[in-house]
């Protein structure tokens, strides 16, 4: 399908769904049933082009964990994207696109286009990865020992612990070596005859404090300089991770000012031959997916209408719990609105989507929708209570 995917921009700078888009979503729901999760591939391509336009010197590695739908991976692969994977199933989703390449070409592509960015890997995973030889990350000496024994042919990238202040989801408590220990750890890897290709960091998901990036770049530059002075070995890969913000609401800054800051600092701190990688996940897919659900129940509780829909926090709205994002529940029906509660379908009171939706009076079988649901939503959907995840439909492929 090619039509009906437009959005309208209002003064707040946030894209608003157009009338044509609403009509398309309603038609898809009537045809496919609900809940239905709609993926717009032209928006994915647009986001990729936007990121490359702002930072053309950066090699883009899509963080597959944001949304591992194989068709999304395929679209980005066709755009020339590289991939950040964090498990062997994610690796194999990417691998499906290149499995028919000649062996030498396939190996070269993996080396140049996949980074296994989970710092902790089971032995079985390391043994599997050694066959394919992608870049792999690490952040501690025990992981180095495992890599030496089970994946000695991998290229290594050391992940640093950097400030995550102001990010919606912080990652530094679980991942990254303290900068003061980084040089010693890299020296240990060299002493074990392992190849350390670069450094990486992640400032936290949905980062709205751009100083996190600036501090992380400065730390990385200092460590690279010290490594080269101490060991005589050059580090020529810097992975600046993800965290690139999505404009979920008007108060969030766009990519433009961040890209300008990054460009200036990278050119100031690093040599021209430094290969810069980034791992956008949310930025590439968050605004590309919509969810349409149906009202299956209605009651009045605590003095306000309460609607029960056939999707919830155990399913596509899981991002409200795990990703700390609010996805407003909106109605196709027009009319005066009132504060309403919206619950998911499961037999669990935790399955509460919102207690403060602004909705007109709805009836059983009326449709509702939510936008900007592409990242960290359906990826963690479950079959809790026997309710299956939403059906996935693709447009603009």
- C-alpha–C-alpha distance, residues 44 and 188, integer Å: 41
Residue 8 has pLDDT above 80, yes or no: no
Residues 186 and 304 in one domain: no
Residues 167 and 268 in one domain: yes
In sequence order, which residues have a C-beta less than 8 Å from that of residue 309 and are 6 or more positions away? 35, 293, 294, 295, 296, 329, 342, 343, 344, 345, 353, 368
Provide the domain limits for residue 136: 41-285
What is the band of 242 on the pLDDT scale with cuts at 50, 70, 90? confident
pLDDT given at position 5 = 46
**1: in domain:** no
Residues 315 and 335 in one domain: yes
Residues 19 and 136 in one domain: no
3-state secondary structure (DSSP) of residue 163: coil
Residues 244 and 383 in one domain: no
3-state secondary structure (DSSP) of residue 302: coil
What is the band of 126 on the pLDDT scale with cuts at 50, 70, 90? very high
Q: Taking all residues of the chain, what is their mean pLDDT, rounded to a whole number?
A: 91
What is the band of 171 on the pLDDT scale with cuts at 50, 70, 90? low
pLDDT given at position 244 = 86
Residue 252 has pLDDT above 90, yes or no: no
**90: in domain:** yes
Tokens 């993800």, located at residue: 242
Residues 217 and 295 in one domain: no
Q: What's the predicted TM-score (pTM) here?
A: 0.92
Residues 34 and 114 in one domain: no
Final residue belonging to a domain, choices 236, 268, 285: 285
Residues 149 and 276 in one domain: yes
Residues 171 and 140 in one domain: yes
**pLDDT tens sequence across 21-47:** 999 999 999 999 999 999 999 999 999
Residues 299 and 197 in one domain: no
pLDDT given at position 211 = 81
Nearest alpha-carbon partner for 315 in 46, 37, 104? 37
Residue 368's CATH number:
2.40.37.10
Residue 197 has pLDDT above 70, yes or no: yes
Tokens 């890997």, located at residue: 121
Tokens of 39: 């993926």
**221: in domain:** yes
Residue 346 has pLDDT above 90, yes or no: yes
pLDDT given at position 248 = 81
With residue 90 as reference, give the H or E element that holds it: helix 88-95
**144: in domain:** yes
Final residue belonging to a domain, choices 232, 253, 285: 285
Number of Cα atoms under 13 Å in the Cβ half of residue 243: 29
**pLDDT tens sequence across 260-315:** 999 999 999 999 999 999 999 999 999 999 999 999 999 999 999 999 999 999 99
Residue 249 has pLDDT above 80, yes or no: no
Number of domains in the chain: 2
Q: Which of 81, 207, 289, 347 is catalytic?
A: 347
Residue 3 has pLDDT above 70, yes or no: no
What is the band of 185 on the pLDDT scale with cuts at 50, 70, 90? very high
Please check whether residue 275 is in contact with residue 330, taking contact to mean a CB–CB distance below 8 angstroms: no
Tokens of 226: 């010290």
Please check whether residue 66 is in contact with residue 285, taking contact to mean a CB–CB distance below 8 angstroms: yes
**108: in domain:** yes
**2: in domain:** no
**309: in domain:** yes
Final residue belonging to a domain, choices 254, 285, 316: 285
Residue 95 has pLDDT above 60, yes or no: yes
Residue 124 has pLDDT above 90, yes or no: yes
Residue 234 has pLDDT above 60, yes or no: yes
pLDDT given at position 168 = 56
**87: in domain:** yes
As a 3-state breakdown, the chain gives helix, strand, coil percent values, each rounded to 5, of 35, 25, 40
Residue 56's CATH number:
3.20.20.10
Residues 171 and 35 in one domain: no
Q: Is 207 a catalytic residue?
A: no
> What burial class does residue 361 get, using C-beta atoms within 10 Å of its C-beta: 0-12 exposed, 13-18 middle, 19+ buried?
middle
Residues 207 and 106 in one domain: yes
pLDDT average, residue stretch 155-166: 84
């Amino acid at each position: 399908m090619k039509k009906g995917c437009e959005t309208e921009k209002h003064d707040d700078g946030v894209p608003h769904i157009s009338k044509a888009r609403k009509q398309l979503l309603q038609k898809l729901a009537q045809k496919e049933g609900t809940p239905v999760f709609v993926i717009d591939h032209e928006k994915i391509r647009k986001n990729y082009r936007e990121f490359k336009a702002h930072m053309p010197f950066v090699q883009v590695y899509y963080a597959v964990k944001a949304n591992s739908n194989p068709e999304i991976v395929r679209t980005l692969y066709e755009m020339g994207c590289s991939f950040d994977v964090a498990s062997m199933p994610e690796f194999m989703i990417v691998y499906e696109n290149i499995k028919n390449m000649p062996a030498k070409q396939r190996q070269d592509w993996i080396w140049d286009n996949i980074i296994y960015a989970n710092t902790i890997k089971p032995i079985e995973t390391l043994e599997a990865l050694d066959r394919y030889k992608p870049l792999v990350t690490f952040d501690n000496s025990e992981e180095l020992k495992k890599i030496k024994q089970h994946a000695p042919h991998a290229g290594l990238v050391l992940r640093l612990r950097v400030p995550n202040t102001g990010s919606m989801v912080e990652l530094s408590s679980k991942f990254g070596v303290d900068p003061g220990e980084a040089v010693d750890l890299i020296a240990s890897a060299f002493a074990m005859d392992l190849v350390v290709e670069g450094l990486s960091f992640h400032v936290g998901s949905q980062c709205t404090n751009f100083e996190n990036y600036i501090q992380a770049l400065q730390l990385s530059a200092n460590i690279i300089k010290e490594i080269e002075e101490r060991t005589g070995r050059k580090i020529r890969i810097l992975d600046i991770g993800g965290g690139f913000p999505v404009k979920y609401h008007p108060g969030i800054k766009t990519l433009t000012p961040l890209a300008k800051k990054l460009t200036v600092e990278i050119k100031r701190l690093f040599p021209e031959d430094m290969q810069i990688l980034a791992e956008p996940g949310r930025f590439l897919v968050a605004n590309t997916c919509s969810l349409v659900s149906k009202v299956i129940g209605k009651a009045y509780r605590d003095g306000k209408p309460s609607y029960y829909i056939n999707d919830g926090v155990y399913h596509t709205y899981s991002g409200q719990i795990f990703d700390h994002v609010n996805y407003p529940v909106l109605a196709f029906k027009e009319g005066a609105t009132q504060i309403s509660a919206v619950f998911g379908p499961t037999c669990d009171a935790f399955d509460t989507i919102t207690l403060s939706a602004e909705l007109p009076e709805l009836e059983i079988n009326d449709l509702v929708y939510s936008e900007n649901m592409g990242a960290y939503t359906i990826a963690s959907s479950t079959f809790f209570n026997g309710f299956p995840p939403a059906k996935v439909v693709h447009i603009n492929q």
